[in-house]
Chains A and B, each alone.
Chain A
């Protein structure tokens, strides 16, 4: 039974405190760690309760998604995906296929567009070309876990579609909006333009009218060194045109880096914009502020007319502030790029879907596909809210001190002293000196060494009340005993009178029943 406290302590610390150094000569200064990094340069969230997925948001698509996680051991996992649909679908595709009554073969192999690596275990590295030009790579070993993914949604590299959505079309659009003609933007969003932005194969489909994205990539990495653990997540987008080119951004990098040491953690989230043009006005800025003409200023609001036009169409744009948290050795941060929120109700009116005989078409589905049929009928009335994040990253790292598995069950952790203990520089007392109290000066060769028979003079280590003795002390002890006795008597009396009402609002005794014997 003496081992019980040790086991309890080890379990309490859990995975964090379970470090067993793989090699004696590579022992980290910390006992255990946990780290995690996630990055996606383009995240699409769909909030619509009619979608039959028990998650919030109901649908999510993380393009060029990467994720790594490491913990004591070390053990680590890494994942990269061209398009990750979130945990509920990515992990449980087969179950969803079954629940929807679709052929089970569709989900037999799980979600296919992903590569994974783990350590210990196999595979320790993997790569896949999900689509032509779209690469995902993951690699994990006992020092680090790395995941990288990248591609272009429009099949073109960043920078070569500079004319897309810009030029006279935007000037004309702004003029129309300033004159109060909301129909101009509505026509654009409804797809009634001379040039069709969706002509190219594009995973965003019709949404590319609102968002056109050039090359994008992300990387997530965690490394565990001898005295620190680091997690970094970075997402990059080459070029983005929003709302038909009304807002144009070049080179958004969203990053988060967290480092944990026993002495403390540090974390740095940041959003960097290579270039930005709002309504034709160019700016350069980071998440700390806009740098224009040598000054850092707040981001200007959009011109009134376009802003009102966007609101009328259910569209809003925000630039979220990065968040970070440092608590002792634990460090974590997250950052989001520009976020576009789209309430679909006004847009659906523009698209005039209700004029199409979709319900009649769906009702012609066979009864065997009843689940799908009812789902599609429900979706006809859906008004989803779509949130687009142009970069979302997060990282967290934490190290903990070693678990003391020695012979002192009362001590569960070994916390390093804040100041290094003073080490005697001369032989002097030969082992009789202070042992690690740190603040006690070590005896020097010139210092007088007390004789072995000298009686030790004790002094109070900390200020406080003097000891209570004699009659006052006896009275105090007697008072405490009496108070305890009265308390017990009252408790028993109340329990017998009120049936244990003092213990539980439902009249039951408090305690710990042995569930194996009752």
Chain B
């Protein structure tokens, strides 16, 4: 069995005295899409922050490609191919679409390559290239955030609440693109509160509640138990 691109072993993390992650174990095989599901406040976003180096963990280990990356800084992880798309998109609202993308060229990728990658994945961004990012719809802003991430040539992509505040049709469209990205060999960890769409494109899934992974398996298995987990056990 090949070495997973990401392996979290007993990861714990806390905000002050409040422990949010209570021993998280999770593996992401190379090239796989893993959906991390769970209710609001389960610790999913905190887990992403810990993986991406934005938040220190208090115990446990994080291995990437068989190497311990304890104490690695976020910018160091970003340079070696870990890319995070945070919840809320975080595009620069007063810059145009093209200016938002051009910022990525400052990381070393030629500007033409950045724009070519972005527009080939999302032709709609080409139509909007001179429009201020803040004036676009939520779905288009999410496309821009995805495009910006893709131009950094990620090997491991962390997606936090891609569907937040978006219309279901747009979410379907975005997840189709995520499936396309995955087919190019990028490993993806998708964090979602609402399961159905994320499970559609996932190879594996895990459910987190109360800072722990409480279930993991194939998407079909997880889909069956989601009602129990998400609905507090009332829909069995």
B46 neighbours in A (Cβ, 8 Å): none
Contact check: which of A73, A98, A370, A504 meets B94 at CB < 8 Å?
A73
* B101 CB, nearest partner CB in chain A, Å: 13
Contact check: which of B40, B70, B94, B156 meets A75 at CB < 8 Å?
B94
A486 at the interface (CB under 8 A from B): no
* B19 CB, nearest partner CB in chain A, Å: 16
Interface residues contributed by chain B, number (CB under 8 Å): 55
A73 neighbours in B (Cβ, 8 Å): 93-94, 134
B107 touches A54 (CB 8 A): no
- Looking across the interface, which residue of chain B has its beta carbon closest to that of A55? B40
Bound-complex Cα distance A118 to B108 (A): 34
Q: Mark A65-93, 1 if CB is under 8 A from B, else 0.
A: 00000001111000000000000100110
B113 at the interface (CB under 8 A from A): no
B110 neighbours in A (Cβ, 8 Å): none
B26 at the interface (CB under 8 A from A): no
A362 at the interface (CB under 8 A from B): no
* B76 CB, nearest partner CB in chain A, Å: 6
Q: Mark B1-37, 1 if CB is under 8 A from A, else 0.
A: 0010100010000000000000000000000000000
A374 touches B234 (CB 8 A): yes
B68 touches A515 (CB 8 A): no
Contact check: which of A7, A10, A509 meets B67 at CB < 8 Å?
A509
* B182 CB, nearest partner CB in chain A, Å: 15
Q: CB within 8 Å of A: which of B134-179?
A: 134-136, 153, 155-156, 163-165, 167-168
B5 touches A504 (CB 8 A): no
Bound-complex Cα distance A137 to B156 (A): 44
A441 at the interface (CB under 8 A from B): no
B61 touches A56 (CB 8 A): no
- Looking across the interface, which residue of chain B has its beta carbon closest to that of A107? B168
- Looking across the interface, which residue of chain A has its beta carbon closest to that of B66? A508
Q: CB within 8 Å of B: which of A45-72?
A: 49-52, 54-56, 72
Bound-complex Cα distance A514 to B167 (A): 37
* A-B contacts, CB under 8 A, total: 141
Q: Mark B122-140, 1 if CB is under 8 A from A, else 0.
A: 0000000000101110000
A512 touches B236 (CB 8 A): no
A505 neighbours in B (Cβ, 8 Å): 61
B41 neighbours in A (Cβ, 8 Å): 55-56
* B24 CB, nearest partner CB in chain A, Å: 15
Q: Mark A377-388, 1 if CB is under 8 A from B, else 0.
A: 110000000000
Bound-complex Cα distance A40 to B195 (A): 31
B165 neighbours in A (Cβ, 8 Å): 91-92
B225 at the interface (CB under 8 A from A): no
Bound-complex Cα distance A15 to B93 (A): 9
A56 touches B40 (CB 8 A): yes
* B113 CB, nearest partner CB in chain A, Å: 15
A20 neighbours in B (Cβ, 8 Å): 94-95
A75 touches B93 (CB 8 A): yes
B70 touches A510 (CB 8 A): yes
Pairs A–B under 8 Å by Cβ, sample size 17:
A8-B75, A14-B90, A55-B40, A91-B165, A92-B194, A95-B163, A120-B93, A120-B134, A121-B134, A122-B135, A374-B235, A378-B232, A506-B68, A508-B61, A510-B68, A513-B69, A515-B156
Given known contacts A7-B106, A121-B135, A512-B69, what 9 new A-B pairs fall within 8 Å (CB)? A4-B107, A56-B41, A73-B134, A74-B94, A120-B132, A120-B134, A120-B135, A508-B61, A515-B65
